[in-house]
Amino acid sequence: MGRMLIHGHNPGMELDAETISRWLDPLARRPEEIAEVFAERRREVSIDWRDGAASEARTTLTEGVSARWRRGSRQSLAFVSRCDEEAARDAVRAVQKDAGLPALPVRPSRDFEPGEEAPVAAERWARRLPAVLARHAPRHRLRWTLREVERQIIQARGSAAISTRRLLSLEGTFTAASRRGDERRNFSFHSPLADSTADELKTALARAAEPRDTATPCGEGDTDAVLAGGSAAVLFHEVLSHALEGGVESPLSGLEQARLAPPEVEVRDAPTRLDLFGGYERDDEGTVPRAVKLLDAGRLASRMTDRSHGPGPSNGHARRTGPEDAPMPRGSNAVVSPGAATTDEMARRLSNGLWIEEIEGGSVELASGRFRLRFPRARRTRRGRLADECAGGFLSGDILAVLSSLDPALGREQRPYRALGWCARGGHVVPVQGAAPDVLVRRIRVRPIS
């Protein structure tokens, strides 16, 4: 793939879609050719909080525009680190030259002076957050971040698309009380900015700060485990979302319509869930996304695709970290359909095992199908009742084995898992999330954190 970088200033994002579309027309004379301009304006405000004291708000503004041309396996991408019509023109000229076409004439450049202030929403949160932290986590090292991302996609054929997302994160550590004394705990919360976000954050902080009993090592070996509190979304993100991104080879390749899990298990990737951190109205090729069934009544169903990676036409999963990157199919929100079991019923079915409500992170090796999830703590269950605290550990296994070991009973309440917020693949990071009911996994491998 050809890739060019042109540096520039940071003006406002004002692109004339009709004019730029005409520039792109010569690059897409054939039906299989892709020609587009992608522009992004990202404003980020972050505040570090230390025991109730806030540092000065840091505001960063990054903008850029890229032009992309693709024919078959040949692709050219030109990126300009500013976001105006002249930048788009420069980028289109670069890919025209790379494609062997006459380039647009050069026009004199202009200088721009950026001048951006922190969003009003950031000021409101800076006033509100100290009281929330003082009540639930007075001793802390946390970073609060508000990201506002505006993206515009202009194509040689088809209508232009503009979308804006505002995403809030609070991450770091805090000191909480337990029966063995004070302990430091990690905290991570990611949510689209909405009227309910503040209340959700208060609830998450209060729950994270609850006193705990003295924990003992979780032991090592095979065990049954309930992934509760929405945390099962992380499991399905690793074993299904990554494995079913278009163009990816994994142990699930070639198994379309195979029965991999109990028929009660249904999982879809849902970019249309704008209440979740990974949602969006248009993907990064301008396509309106649709929810894609990954498991349909336990059978392997569909893949997430873009315009270049099938099978089939794009279902709106083209995503990129920024305009300097080419799009690729990526997951968004892994959503598991609920069942009918109550929390007590799930505990009785578990009987003896681990009850896990927090998963701090996960990874998967697609070539081998092996995955690993890290949990900071758990509760043991004995005869269907919650018992003693268990220290953190790792869950691991094989994609096909873990899907076949899912219990058909699912919790009846589907919960968003706000601790999941970002996913990296090959250095490209995109926002993701998920929602899930309580899920019981049989015979999963566990080992303590050394």
349-394 pLDDT tens trace:
999 999 999 999 999 999 999 999 999 999 999 999 999 999 999 9
Residue 114: per-residue pLDDT: 39
Q: Per mean pLDDT, which range of 32-41, 49-58, 243-252, 305-314 is the poorest?
A: 49-58
Q: What is the DSSP letter of 206?
A: H
Rounded to two decimals, the pTM is: 0.93
Percent of the chain with pLDDT over 90: 81
Task: Give phi and psi for 287, each to the nearest 5.
Answer: -80, 135
Does residue 108 have a cis peptide bond before it, meaning omega lies within 30 degrees of 0?
no
Query: Can you tell me the mean pLDDT for 183-204?
Result: 95
**Better-predicted residue by pLDDT, 111 or 279:** 279
Measuring CA to CA, which residue among 294, 371, 285 is closest to residue 331?
294
**Better-predicted residue by pLDDT, 260 or 127:** 260
C-alpha span between 133 and 21 (Å, rounded): 49
Residue 107: per-residue pLDDT: 58
Q: Check: CB of residue 189 under 8 Å from CB of residue 174.
A: no
Is the per-residue pLDDT at 119 higher than 90?
Answer: no
Query: Can you tell me the mean pLDDT for 211-219?
Result: 89
Domain assignments of the chain as residue spans, ordered by start: 2-208, 221-448
User: Does the domain made of 2-208 have the CATH classification 3.30.2290.10?
Assistant: yes
Q: Interior CA angle at 137 toward 133 and 138, to 5°?
A: 75
Strand partners, 445: 222, 396
Q: Where are the beta strands (DSSP E) in 51-124?
A: 53-54, 58-71, 74-80
Is the per-residue pLDDT at 116 higher than 60?
Answer: no
For the chain, state the CA radius of gyration. 24
Is the per-residue pLDDT at 12 higher than 70?
Answer: no
Residue 264: per-residue pLDDT: 98
User: For 85, left (φ over 0), alpha (ψ -120 to 50), or beta?
Assistant: alpha
Residue type at position 192: P
Q: Per mean pLDDT, which range of 37-46, 126-135, 295-304, 398-407 is the poorest?
A: 126-135
Residue 367 corresponds to which tokens in the numbers above?
């070539």
**Better-predicted residue by pLDDT, 183 or 241:** 241
C-alpha span between 429 and 56 (Å, rounded): 27
Task: Give the pLDDT band of residue 178 (cuts 50, 70, 90).
Answer: confident
Residue 29: per-residue pLDDT: 87
Q: Check: CB of residue 393 under 8 Å from CB of residue 221.
A: no
Q: Interior CA angle at 366 toward 331 and 323, to 5°?
A: 40
Arithmetic mean of pLDDT over the chain: 91
Residue 108: per-residue pLDDT: 54
Helix (H, G, I), strand (E, B) or coil at 256: coil
Residue 113: per-residue pLDDT: 42
C-alpha span between 400 and 406 (Å, rounded): 11
